[in-house]
Amino acid sequence: MATSFNSALEILRTTRVWKSIFRRGPALTNRTRSLAVFGNLFLHWLPVKVREKSLRVRAAYYLGSLSLLLFILLVVTGVLLMFYYHPAAPNAYRDMKDLRFVVSNGVFLRNMHRIGAHLMVLLVFWHMFHVFYRGGYKPPHEFNWVVGVILLLITLFLSYTGYLLPWDQLAFWAVTVGTNIISAMPIIGSKVRFVALGGNIVGENALLRFYVLHVVILPLLAFLLIGIHFWRVQKDGGLTVRSKEDDRKS
């Protein structure tokens, strides 16, 4: 079975289509393996070589990768929810109820999105604490630490804007309270609140604004910064791993 699979793969590799996509032979040597990573859009921001030690679970508990995985899960479930949700005051609450009680597997998707979002906030915080206590903010990682802090803020804003979308009492009052905190800013506070809500009360305009922020602007920003964040890990010399010397010092 394995040999027939391998020989099928060999034949596939000789085809013109395969060669036009991958442009090189099998990754048998270190050089071709490196080229395989360099030449692939989805892999090029990964380090070409990784120390075995940094792949141990205890090195980072994979918290950053798990956060990315959750982000992808939230994008997929979120896009699926968008097929049934209208961001308008008369529909929003009903659509949410429909997703829970009428749409096949709707409750599963909605809860996956909801619980996944809670979990992502938790994981991102956990990731931050872990990096902080490991000293991952020290040179040469300062820039990536700042990118990480912005990603944390985006995660919180995504969580907050998504909170309004069910359009229930909890959502309404959470956003009423939150936007009143904005208006406590000196001088520009009430103007910022007016623009954020598109009015004086949490109404139709606010729902649409939060929706657009939640499904377009914030995910795109997060996507861009996640790319930079992962790429920078490689450029800053890989994952931060405590060496034996560090252990001896501490």
Measured from the CB of residue 111, what is the shortest distance to another protein in angstroms? 27
Nearer to another protein, 120 or 206 (CB): 206
Q: Look up tokens 């918290």; give the residue.
A: 63
Rounded to whole angstroms, the Cα distance separating 189 from 191 reads 5
Tokens of residue 28, six digits: 């048998």
Nearer to another protein, 128 or 206 (CB): 206
* Cβ 87 vs Cβ 208: under 8 Å: yes
Nearer to another protein, 47 or 199 (CB): 199
Around Cβ 96, how many Cβ atoms within 10 Å?
A: 20
Residues in touch with another protein (CB under 8 A): 173, 176-177, 180-181, 194-195, 198-201, 203-205
Nearer to another protein, 45 or 172 (CB): 172
Radius of gyration of the chain (CA): 23
Measured from the CB of residue 200, what is the shortest distance to another protein in angstroms? 6
Measured from the CB of residue 171, what is the shortest distance to another protein in angstroms? 14
Residue 233 sits at the vertex; the CA angle it makes with 227 and 235, to the nearest 5 degrees, is 100
Q: What is the dihedral of CA 243, 247, 248, 250, to 10 degrees?
A: 130
Measured from the CB of residue 182, what is the shortest distance to another protein in angstroms? 11
Nearer to another protein, 25 or 203 (CB): 203
Measured from the CB of residue 195, what is the shortest distance to another protein in angstroms? 5
What are the residues whose beta carbons fall under 8 Å from the beta carbon of 130, sequence distance 6 or more? 60, 61, 63, 136
